[in-house]
Amino acid sequence: MTRLLLGAFPPELGPFMEAPPKGWSVACTGVGQLLAAASTARLIEELRPEGVFFVGTCGHFDERLKVGDFIWAAGAHASSLEERRGESYRPVVERTHWNATLPALALPAHEVVVPPAITRIREGAALFAPLGAVEHLELTGVYAACHAAQTPVGAALVVVNEVGPDAQAQWVANHQGQSLRLIEALRSMGAFD
């Protein structure tokens, strides 16, 4: 039986795109929670992995975090700025939160907020901060698909920007190098053994 290593797009998976760790299948989900959910569900159906591990980048709300910090995604929370402002709401029966179910790695554990789009305003960062320490675009889709298939799931992320008006420039400058740092750190921790 194999394990499944996912990232949103190739730079997040670095050298594993060409040379997966032994016993692992590697794939990209695509960007955004909906595409990630569909891709993850399809891959689980095809491969029947014993577990799914996602790696990726994120932006931080929590001022205690900085660019280059690694985190364990303890849970993924779907939300939007409109919800946080009270301009919209979700039906009470809609699930919006999923927990990691793989054993946690020795990384600081944080909740992850998954909005429908990247937050560019400081007001938005302040509104999301009570829900989690970081923002990421795919994790609710990955976690939801794994929960539906009863497949253990977890994720490690690296902070590459501060959420706000400079986020895009910081992401462009940092995402590739920091993604490689995360892969190497996880490899040295034995995450792929």
Mean pLDDT of the chain: 94
User: Cα torsion at 172, 59, 187, 111 (round to 10°)?
Assistant: -160
Instruction: Tell me the H-state helices in the chain.
Output: 10-13, 33-47, 81-85, 122-128, 139-148, 167-189
- Read off the pLDDT of residues 89-110 as tens digits, 9 standing for 90 and up: 888 888 889 999 999 999 999 9
- 138: tokens are 């795919």
- Read off the pLDDT of residues 5-26 as tens digits, 9 standing for 90 and up: 999 999 999 999 999 999 999 9
Could you tell me the pTM of the whole model?
0.94
User: Cα torsion at 180, 185, 187, 193 (round to 10°)?
Assistant: -140
Taking residues 67-83, report their average pLDDT: 94
Residue 35 is predicted with a pLDDT of 95
Q: Is a pLDDT exceeding 90 seen at residue 43? A: yes
Q: Is a pLDDT exceeding 90 seen at residue 171? A: yes
Query: With bands split at pLDDT 50, 70 and 90, how would you rate the model's confidence at 86?
Result: confident
Task: Characterize the bridge pairing of strands 52-60 and 134-135.
Answer: antiparallel
CA distance 60 to 112: 9
Q: Is a pLDDT exceeding 90 seen at residue 169? A: yes
Q: Which CATH number characterizes residue 122's domain?
A: 3.40.50.1580
Residue 93 is predicted with a pLDDT of 84
Residue 94 is predicted with a pLDDT of 82
Point out the least confidently predicted range of 28-37, 46-55, 77-86.
Answer: 77-86
Which positions ≥6 away from 27 have C-beta within 8 Å? 4, 5, 6, 39, 43
What is the percent of the chain where pLDDT is above 90?
Answer: 80
Report the DSSP beta bridge partners of residue 119. none
Taking residues 48-65, report their average pLDDT: 94
Looking at the structure of the chain, the number of domains it has is: 1
**Domain hosting residue 179, numbered range:** 3-189
Residue 95 is predicted with a pLDDT of 87
What is the percent of the chain where pLDDT is above 70?
Answer: 99
SS (H, E, C) 77-128: EECCHHHHHCCCCCCCCCCCEEECCCCCCCCCEEEEEECCCCCCCHHHHHHH
Q: Is a pLDDT exceeding 80 seen at residue 1? A: no
